[in-house]
A and B are shown apart, each in its own frame.
Chain A
Amino acid sequence: MDSYIPHTSQDVNEMLEAIGVKDIDSLFSTIPAEKRIDSIDLPGGMDEFSVLSELRKMAYTNASADKYSYFLGAGIYNHVIPSAISQIVSRGDFYTAYTPYQAEVSQGTLQSLFEFQTMICEITGMGIANASMYDGASALAEAVLMASRYTQKYRALIADTVHPEYVETVKTYVVGPGIKIESISHDETGMVSVKDLRSKIDDKTACVVVQYPNFYGIIEDLKVIKENLGDILFIVVANPISLGILEAPGKLGADIVVGDGQPLGIPMNLGGPAFGFFAIREDQKLVRTMPGRIIGETVDVEGKRGFVMTLQAREQHIRREKATSNICSNHALGTLYASVYLSLLGPEGLKEIGELNLSKSHYLLEKLEETGHFKRVFYGEFFNEFVARTDLDVKKLQKTLFKNKIIGPLDVSRLDKGMQKHLLFCATEANTKEEIDKLISVVEAM
């Protein structure tokens, strides 16, 4: 082990002498000899240059979206990230991942979070947003908890077109409070079955959850769902990058809108970290049951504009076990990426990105169907993802694509055994026409 430890034998001897111990082995004398190991089979230590070279070699074997064409979505998406983002967020004035403990001293951090909340409200069409949650799945779980807190009812209906891993996260969070989760089925359009929804709603239901666009890429008809809900809280999980062209959930009756912020300028980072967003309609009673930090705008004693953490009486450091949630932090760095991304794009840019996603994914589906090996499964309108059934061997297809530097679609049967040979494709503004045409030619050559 010598080469992993920086101390010289002289250092070691001096330390042993200072504490009056004969040798290192006698420090471990309380552990029975037969429980100890003599050595660990590790290679010798290396200098910095050799370590870097070794790690680079290992990193090079990764297949990343920089080197491969990427047609995988299902929760984390490959989007174009303007270079200006990393320049701006890396500025020393911004570069802290954490809300400072003495928050009001850091007016700049609070202002950036306030601007973030404002932008989330604008794209979701909601009245109040918090300063972010950990990710989309935990934001949804918190929304379901909040709905039960608000309504004092303990039954939640979740569409089976919501991301299966989000549903798993919700089920984990609701064990303690004992909220019963039930599923609503979908019809041949790939949208929530309104008939099934109607049959499952009762006076014990706290909330109904749908995803927009849903896990299969289909754009749910939020207005029709809302018409069936009455007082039941309507929770929408939204993909924020779709909201440049889709009507804001807040304008279609959503009470709570949550989602994952990764599409807004954050690298895929092997699946995270990104951040979750959380917004509600403007309602004084509702806001008091909302989890997370909220930054408010105010004026100081001299009448100058300033920012504060507000409504903290809901939070854990004041309300202790009666707090609305045990989240006492946020993902400030992730929200900063999103704020910079949205401000670089502006409303027009976000709309253009949305249109590009729409047209690329529709072009991909059209070309796939032309090969005769793929057929669209759901007939609802879709955004940048869709499910296609294939007559090809899925494993062989994925392998062939990978050999041709293409990361293929998600095999949906991995998450739902009933959906053998169903593939979830994704195409975004980051996919060029050449990439799509290459994918098609690889399929045709199979």
Chain B
Amino acid sequence: MKKYLKTHEWAELNGKIATVGISNHAQEQLGDVVYVNLPEVGKTVKAGEVFCSVESVKSASDVYAPVSGKIKEVNKALESTPELINKSAEGDGWIAKIEVSNPKEFDNLLDKDAYDKFVKDSE
């Protein structure tokens, strides 16, 4: 099940591995994504810290790590086709897979309904 952050990232846990990306709402707000500055595989990240950035034609935005852990894999397809994020932010446009060090952190994240409500309220 996908969980969300108020900073518009998502994470989905599968065993010990969390797939993370930016939300469909974030993608809509950014406009055409032209570049993704992918994190390094093997790097350790902390929940709430900047771990990569997504650049659109009008801005470059930091992406915060939803959970702590070690980067196991990055979505190499984004290097040549960053527009995958616009096409499928919460599917093929995933950014990285993190081996989570503390699965309990997931409890702090929002579920889909709560996130949708948060987005609606902040509009």
* Residues of chain A whose beta carbon lies under 8 Å from any beta carbon of chain B: 284, 288, 313-314, 318-319, 322
A350 to B120, CA, bound (A): 63
Determine the chain A residues whose CB is within 8 A of the CB of B59 once the complex forms. Answer: 313, 318
A314 to B59, CA, bound (A): 9
A391 to B60, CA, bound (A): 62
Contact between chains at A288 and B37 (CB < 8 Å): yes
Counting residue pairs across A and B whose Cβ atoms lie within 8 Å, the total is 19
Q: Mark B36-75, 1 if CB is under 8 A from A, else 0.
A: 0100000000000000000111111010000000000000
A313 to B35, CA, bound (A): 10
Determine the chain A residues whose CB is within 8 A of the CB of B79 once the complex forms. Answer: 284
A318 to B57, CA, bound (A): 11
Contact between chains at A284 and B35 (CB < 8 Å): yes
Determine the chain B residues whose CB is within 8 A of the CB of A288 once the complex forms. Answer: 35, 37, 55
Contact between chains at A319 and B35 (CB < 8 Å): no
Within 8 A of A (CB), among B4-61: 35, 37, 55-60
* Residues of chain B whose beta carbon lies under 8 Å from any beta carbon of chain A: 35, 37, 55-60, 62, 79
If over half of A's interface residues share one DSSP class (helix, strand or loop), that class is named, otherwise mixed; here it is: helix
Contact between chains at B56 and A313 (CB < 8 Å): yes
List 19 contacting pairs A-B, 8 Å CB cutoff, sorted by A. A284-B35, A284-B79, A288-B35, A288-B37, A288-B55, A313-B35, A313-B55, A313-B56, A313-B57, A313-B58, A313-B59, A313-B60, A314-B60, A318-B58, A318-B59, A318-B60, A319-B60, A322-B60, A322-B62
- Having A313-B55, A313-B58, A314-B60, one finds 13 other A-B pairs with CB under 8 Å, namely A284-B35, A288-B37, A313-B35, A313-B56, A313-B57, A313-B59, A313-B60, A318-B58, A318-B59, A318-B60, A319-B60, A322-B60, A322-B62
Within the complex, the shortest CB–CB distance from B81 to chain A, in Å, comes to 12
A288 to B60, CA, bound (A): 11
Determine the chain B residues whose CB is within 8 A of the CB of A284 once the complex forms. Answer: 35, 79
Determine the chain B residues whose CB is within 8 A of the CB of A322 once the complex forms. Answer: 60, 62
Determine the chain A residues whose CB is within 8 A of the CB of B56 once the complex forms. Answer: 313
Within the complex, the shortest CB–CB distance from A317 to chain B, in Å, comes to 11
A319 to B59, CA, bound (A): 8
Q: Which residue of B lies closest to A315 (CB)?
A: B60
A314 to B60, CA, bound (A): 7
Within the complex, the shortest CB–CB distance from B56 to chain A, in Å, comes to 7
A313 to B32, CA, bound (A): 13
Q: Which residue of A lies closest to B80 (CB)?
A: A284
Determine the chain A residues whose CB is within 8 A of the CB of B60 once the complex forms. Answer: 313-314, 318-319, 322
A318 to B62, CA, bound (A): 12
Determine the chain A residues whose CB is within 8 A of the CB of B37 once the complex forms. Answer: 288
A340 to B58, CA, bound (A): 33
Within the complex, the shortest CB–CB distance from B53 to chain A, in Å, comes to 8
A314 to B58, CA, bound (A): 10
A322 to B37, CA, bound (A): 13
A442 to B55, CA, bound (A): 64
Q: Counting chain B CB atoms within 10 Å of each CB, which of A284, A313, A318 scores highest? A: A313
A322 to B63, CA, bound (A): 13
